[in-house]
């Protein structure tokens, strides 16, 4: 039996073999255009584990027949970066096109490590390809980020996972010998969670735990995984499952479960700043106006974690986690901005801002009535007077709906009704 993992045996070699990410590799996808033109900018691939970031980088480099250097941000330092850049610089003398430098988990590089890349990228010595599971806006320094295109990779859907599954059992030499029969696939896809590598690893686990022919059922998948999958793996396997459970426990007001998942992440070596960022998001998305102090505490937690680090940061993270989990909840601000964005994105008309709300910096604008009938709220009793702020054609449209299940937003709802009467009741 082959010692090479199934995921490696089935790694695509061309874009035609690549499954998923049709928005990037489809007939009109940008990566096909890169290969056709031979012109590739530095770019960062952002997406969850197992969606093909490394594979896509290798395919581009192979198709263009350029040197391909790879570093892992987990194990490489500034010295390693400089050595690779020096090799690429020497190679560049004999090759008109720059080498590719692929950095896996680029979000784990600190500022000095990222700074060491800038010169080579600016001078065209290397074309940088970064791969990250974290938002580059938070983790990549601005000078480097401004020199890279960012492409978002999505988790595979069940149809794409099924395509991969069928390819594995029909094309892999080892699996073909085992007469694999798929009776049920729901558990297989559920545990894969959109991760192609995880799907193939599960197949490897089942194959290793089975003698002779392989029959896949939901029960068999669950049985094998309970015996083989680790509790937490910060490099990817359980990373998204545990952070998801943590977020949902805080949202669901269960401090005991939230602390348990926090402990699992910390024990597994999760980056504390990653957890702190999630707490800031939770404070805005799930608690919001029900308790505005939650965001203040979450921000203080984020700053504190940056300043003190582990192991002391565990206490601040625990305090904030418990506070957020036990706080009243409201997603009204989250729902309001999503509703407004969805409206704006599908609203093709150019709705004019009412004249009385426009500034009049020139005489002509004043003569046209800009700002003429604007009422300065502080000139009126209670610092309020009724006037129209939305475009005329949207008058009365409601985007923000106070959550009346908690005391704080009940007060907001009462105030809005007192000010506006029934204008925004529809």
| 10-residue averages of pLDDT along the chain (426 residues) | 78 92 91 91 90 93 90 82 87 74 87 87 91 85 90 91 93 88 89 86 87 89 68 53 87 91 85 91 93 95 89 93 93 90 77 83 80 86 87 85 83 85 76
Three-class DSSP labels, 64-103: CCCCEEEEECCCCCHHHHHHHHHHHHHHHCCCCCCEEEEE
Extract the tokens encoding 168: 């594995």
**In this structure, is residue 1 part of a structural domain?**
no
Same domain? 415 vs 343: yes
Domain boundary (100, 126, 152) is at 152
Same domain? 389 vs 357: yes
Answer for the pair 98, 126: CB distance below 8 angstroms, yes or no. Answer: yes
Same domain? 95 vs 209: no
The boundaries of the domain holding residue 368 are 333-420
Report which secondary-structure segment, H or E, holds 131.
Answer: strand 126-132
C-alpha to C-alpha distances, 213 to 169, 179, 181, 369, 373, nearest whole angstrom:
12, 5, 8, 82, 81
Same domain? 27 vs 110: yes
Answer for the pair 277, 302: CB distance below 8 angstroms, yes or no. Answer: yes
Same domain? 36 vs 142: yes
The pLDDT value recorded for residue 67 is: 87
Q: Name which of 297, 304, 306, 261 is nearest 279 in CA terms.
A: 297
Domain of residue 102, CATH code = 3.40.50.300
Same domain? 193 vs 292: no
Three-class DSSP labels, 207-221: HHCCCCCCEECHHHH
**In this structure, is residue 2 part of a structural domain?**
no
Answer for the pair 355, 369: CB distance below 8 angstroms, yes or no. Answer: yes
The pLDDT value recorded for residue 239 is: 65
**Stated pTM of the model:** 0.57
The pLDDT value recorded for residue 408 is: 84
Domain of residue 382, CATH code = 1.10.3710.10
Residues 210 and 256: their CA atoms lie apart, in Å, by 38
Q: How many CA atoms lie within 13 A of 132 on its CB side?
A: 23
Same domain? 167 vs 146: no
DSSP code at position 162 = H
Domain boundary (208, 228, 248) is at 228
Same domain? 127 vs 42: yes
Same domain? 222 vs 285: no
**In this structure, is residue 40 part of a structural domain?**
yes
Domain of residue 194, CATH code = 1.10.8.60
Same domain? 61 vs 141: yes
335 in helix, strand or coil?
helix
Same domain? 108 vs 167: no
The pLDDT value recorded for residue 140 is: 87
Domain of residue 285, CATH code = 1.20.272.10
List CB contacts of 362: < 8 A, sequence separation 6 or more.
none
**In this structure, is residue 288 part of a structural domain?**
yes
**In this structure, is residue 282 part of a structural domain?**
yes
Residues 133 and 104: their CA atoms lie apart, in Å, by 10
**In this structure, is residue 375 part of a structural domain?**
yes
**In this structure, is residue 426 part of a structural domain?**
no
Percent helix, strand, coil in the chain (nearest 5)? 55, 5, 35
Domain boundary (101, 118, 152) is at 152
DSSP code at position 286 = I
**For the chain, how many structural domains are there in total?**
4
Same domain? 281 vs 382: no
> How many residues belong to the chain?
426
**In this structure, is residue 7 part of a structural domain?**
no
């Amino acid at each position: 039996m082959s010692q090479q993992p199934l995921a490696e045996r089935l790694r695509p070699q061309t874009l035609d073999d690549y499954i998923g990410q049709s928005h990037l590799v489809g007939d009109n996808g940008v990566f096909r255009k890169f290969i056709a033109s031979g012109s590739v900018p530095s770019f960062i691939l952002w997406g969850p584990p197992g969606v093909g970031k490394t594979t896509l980088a290798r395919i581009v480099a192979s198709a263009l027949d350029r040197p391909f250097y790879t570093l892992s941000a987990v194990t490489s330092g500034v010295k390693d970066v400089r050595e690779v850049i020096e090799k690429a610089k020497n190679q560049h003398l004999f090759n008109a096109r720059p080498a590719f430098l692929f950095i896996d988990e680029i979000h784990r590089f600190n500022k000095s490590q990222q700074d060491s890349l800038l010169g080579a990228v600016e001078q065209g010595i290397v074309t940088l390809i970064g791969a990250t599971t974290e938002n580059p806006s938070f983790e990549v320094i601005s000078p480097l980020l401004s020199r890279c295109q960012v492409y978002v990779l999505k988790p595979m859907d069940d149809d794409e996972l099924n395509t991969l599954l069928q390819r594995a059992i029909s094309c892999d030499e080892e699996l073909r010998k085992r007469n694999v029969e798929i009776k049920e696939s729901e558990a297989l896809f559920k545990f894969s969670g959109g991760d192609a590598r995880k799907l193939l690893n599960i197949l490897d686990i089942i194959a290793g735990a089975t003698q002779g022919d392989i029959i896949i059922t939901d029960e068999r998948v669950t049985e094998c995984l309970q015996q083989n999958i680790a509790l937490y793996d910060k490099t990817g396997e359980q990373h998204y499952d545990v952070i998801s459970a943590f977020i949902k426990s805080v949202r669901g007001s269960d401090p005991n479960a939230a602390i348990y998942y926090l402990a699992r992440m910390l024990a597994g070596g999760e980056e504390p700043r990653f957890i702190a960022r999630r707490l800031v998001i939770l404070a805005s998305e799930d608690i919001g106006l029900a308790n505005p102090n939650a965001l203040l505490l979450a921000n203080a937690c984020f700053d504190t974690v940056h300043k003190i680090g582990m192991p002391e940061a565990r206490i601040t993270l625990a305090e904030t986690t418990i506070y957020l989990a036990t706080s009243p909840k409201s997603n009204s601000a989250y729902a309001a901005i999503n509703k407004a964005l969805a409206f704006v994105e599908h609203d093709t008309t150019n709705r004019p801002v009412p004249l009385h709300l426009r500034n009049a910096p020139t005489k002509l604008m004043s003569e046209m009535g800009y700002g003429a009938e604007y009422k300065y709220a502080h000139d009126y009793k209670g610092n309020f007077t009724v006037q129209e702020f939305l475009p005329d054609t949207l008058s009365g449209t409601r985007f923000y709906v106070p959550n009346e299940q908690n005391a704080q937003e009940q007060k907001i709802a009462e105030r809005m009704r007192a000010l506006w009467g029934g204008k925004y009741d529809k």
